[in-house]
């Protein structure tokens, strides 16, 4: 099928008409053209105007039926609008420029330029292709650096000497990795060598931009590709040395341990086959992050990583802060998964009690499914028989978790007796004994001493209070009805 048939869409015809009537030279350029040539056109259109991009945006908006609002970004000299037809288009307008950056800063000195100037200043040949939109060159591909051929060959290459391209904006080194990962392309050897030499220049790029690219790499189908490229090129250690530290195996007395860099990436890839949830992918990435600092060699036990799940959960918070990732429930989610990641596999044992299963369900709560997905991906070994056996046992744990949950409903556990009821029955203010009684009830339920049931919990409350020297009010049985939780 002809990829260019998209140019028959009314939105492109309008762009073309306005370009002709205003006498401006206009192109569609960048990622849109690249994705079009790959057969998956995006909804984001980048329009390049030889002249004033912002003024052209205004004229286009006036010519479109819905008269969309134009947003102008003064600092960048760009404008954008959203336009809805059968689908929503996001159109960004920019005037062609000749740009040069000083070595020590990201602030470009911008001058107006030609199409050729603008294509030359772009990051990769595959991102520098343009299609004419004026009637005299409508749909003509302008591809001065062989971007189409590089798409066909699967190569990431820069229009200029890569040293200049990366000096202009060192973030492009991360972008090279991201596009190589997304499309399964290789990075041209000269470009790769240039990344190795310039990796340190990533230090002048803001953390937000680096992590934005990293997240896009993590979101790819096989994210390990990106991490291997980042490691081999020296980019990874510039901003994430803790992850690089996972690499390697040490032997003492002939005993080695897993290479946790490779292991982590295997877990990440396996998990990524099952979920697009970025934060669950982050949990996979960080689940063993504290193995290097907790690693010890014990002559009897061999290599140990005691407490790596606890330290790992703490490291999640430190890393999120440094990476300017959201310090909200997303961070808590990742930290809790890291904290709990050893628990399900510890239950792979016939002897395990219902009580241990209830405790895990209680602690994991809403995260149970995601935790199980993470742990299943965490089962890796060079020995396929071992993996098969573990997975079989893991299925058994999952089934038991289901059975226990159906019976005892502990996953979204709400204490059957409230603190308010305890205070009224014993006539006490908010105080330490209220917590003691609540915990006793919770533990009794999780340990299977009583059922997760209001009456059983109420009776245990009366007994526990008495044991702690508290006297129930005379109307304790009336309270039983008053505070009864309606199922
Ligand atoms: N670009 C560049 N250098 C950068 C960022 C962007 O040269 N550091 C250029 C590229 O030509 C790119 C275009 O600006 O194609 C748009 O950038 P962006 O929207 O970030 O990426 P896309 O290539 O459109 O890809 P995607 O939307 O998939 O991220």
N- to C-terminal Cα separation, the chain:
59
pLDDT tens, residue by residue, 260-285:
999 999 999 999 999 999 999 999 99
Residue whose CA is closest, atom 28 of ligand 1?
Answer: 31
Task: Verify whether ligand 1 is closer than 6 Å to residue 169 (CB atom).
Answer: yes
Task: Verify whether ligand 1 is closer than 6 Å to residue 127 (CB atom).
Answer: yes
pLDDT tens, residue by residue, 40-99:
999 999 999 999 999 999 999 999 988 999 999 988 889 999 998 878 999 999 999 987
Question: What's the predicted TM-score (pTM) here?
Answer: 0.89
Domain ranges of the chain: 3-151, 162-239, 289-408, 419-482
Q: State how far the Cα of 156 lies from the Cα of 192, in Å rounded to an integer.
A: 9
186 Cα to the center of ligand 1, angstroms: 18
pLDDT tens, residue by residue, 354-392:
888 999 998 899 999 999 999 999 998 888 898 898 888
Question: How big is the CA angle at 210 (ends 227 and 222), to the nearest 5 degrees?
Answer: 30
Atom of ligand 1 at shortest range from CA of 35: 28
Atom of ligand 1 at shortest range from CA of 32: 24
> 88 - beta bridge partners?
84
Atom of ligand 1 at shortest range from CA of 172: 8
- How many Cβ atoms from other residues are within 10 Å of residue 136's Cβ? 8
Q: State how far the Cα of 271 lies from the Cα of 275, in Å rounded to an integer.
A: 6
Residue whose CA is closest, atom 25 of ligand 1?
Answer: 31
3-151 to CATH, choices 3.40.50.300, 3.90.230.10, 3.40.640.10, 3.30.460.10: 3.30.460.10
Task: Verify whether ligand 1 is closer than 6 Å to residue 172 (CB atom).
Answer: yes
Phi–psi pair at 158, nearest 5 degrees: -100, 150
The lowest-confidence range among 147-151, 266-270, 295-299 is 295-299
- Provide the CATH number for the domain formed by 162-239 in this structure: 1.10.110.30
- How many Cβ atoms from other residues are within 10 Å of residue 274's Cβ? 11
Q: Is 86 exposed, middle or buried (0-12, 13-18, 19+ CB in 10 A)?
A: exposed
Contact status, residue 336 vs residue 316, Cβ threshold 8 Å: no
pLDDT of residue 214 exceeding 80, the answer is yes
């Amino acid at each position: 099928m002809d990829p260019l048939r998209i140019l028959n869409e009314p939105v492109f015809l309008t762009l073309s008409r306005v370009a002709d009537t205003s006498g401006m030279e206009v192109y569609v350029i960048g990622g849109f053209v690249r994705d079009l040539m790959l057969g998956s056109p995006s909804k984001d259109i980048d329009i390049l105007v030889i002249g004033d991009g912002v003024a052209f945006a205004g004229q286009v908006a006036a010519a479109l039926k819905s008269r969309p609002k134009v947003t102008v970004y003064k600092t960048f000299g760009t404008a954008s609008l959203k336009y809805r037809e059968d689908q929503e288009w996001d159109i960004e307008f920019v005037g062609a420029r000749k740009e040069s950056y000083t070595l020590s800063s990201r602030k470009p000195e911008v001058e107006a330029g030609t199409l050729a100037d603008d294509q030359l200043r772009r990051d990769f040949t595959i991102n520098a292709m343009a299609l004419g939109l004026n009637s005299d060159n409508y749909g003509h591909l302008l591809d001065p650096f062989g971007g189409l051929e590089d798409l066909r060959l699967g190569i990431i290459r820069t229009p200029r000497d890569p040293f200049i391209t990366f000096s202009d904006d060192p973030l492009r080194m991360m972008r090279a990795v991201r596009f190589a990962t997304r499309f399964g392309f290789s990075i041209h050897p000269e470009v790769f060598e240039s990344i190795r030499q310039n990796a340190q220049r990533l230090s002048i790029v803001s953390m937000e931009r680096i992590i934005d690219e990293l997240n896009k790499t993590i979101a790819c189908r096989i994210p390990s590709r990106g991490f291997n490229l980042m490691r081999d090129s020296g980019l990874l250690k510039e901003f994430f040395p803790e992850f690089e530290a996972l690499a390697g195996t040490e032997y003492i007395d002939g005993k080695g341990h897993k290479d946790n860099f490779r292991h982590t990436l295997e877990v990440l890839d396996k998990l990524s086959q099952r979920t697009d949830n970025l934060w669950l992918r982050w949990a996979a990435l960080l689940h063993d992050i504290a193995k290097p600092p907790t690693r010890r060699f014990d002559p009897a036990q061999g290599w140990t990583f005691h407490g790596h799940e606890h330290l790992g959960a703490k490291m999640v918070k430190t890393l999120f802060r440094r990476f300017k990732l959201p310090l909200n429930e997303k961070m808590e989610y990742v930290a809790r998964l890291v904290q709990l990641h050893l628990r399900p596999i510890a239950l792979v044992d016939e002897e395990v009690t219902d009580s241990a299963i209830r405790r895990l369900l209680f602690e994991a709560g809403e995260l149970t499914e995601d935790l199980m997905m993470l742990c299943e991906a965490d089962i890796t070994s060079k020995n396929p028989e071992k993996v098969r056996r573990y997975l079989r046992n893991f299925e058994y744990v999952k089934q038991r978790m289901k059975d226990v949950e159906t019976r005892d409903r502990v996953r979204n556990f709400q204490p059957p007796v409230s603190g308010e009821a305890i205070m009224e029955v014993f006539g006490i203010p908010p105080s330490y004994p209220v917590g003691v009684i609540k915990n006793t009830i919770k533990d009794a339920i999780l340990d299977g001493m009583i059922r997760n049931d209001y009456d059983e919990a109420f009776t245990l409350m009366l007994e526990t209070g008495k044991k702690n020297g508290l006297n129930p009010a005379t109307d304790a049985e009336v309270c039983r009805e008053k505070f009864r939780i309606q199922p």
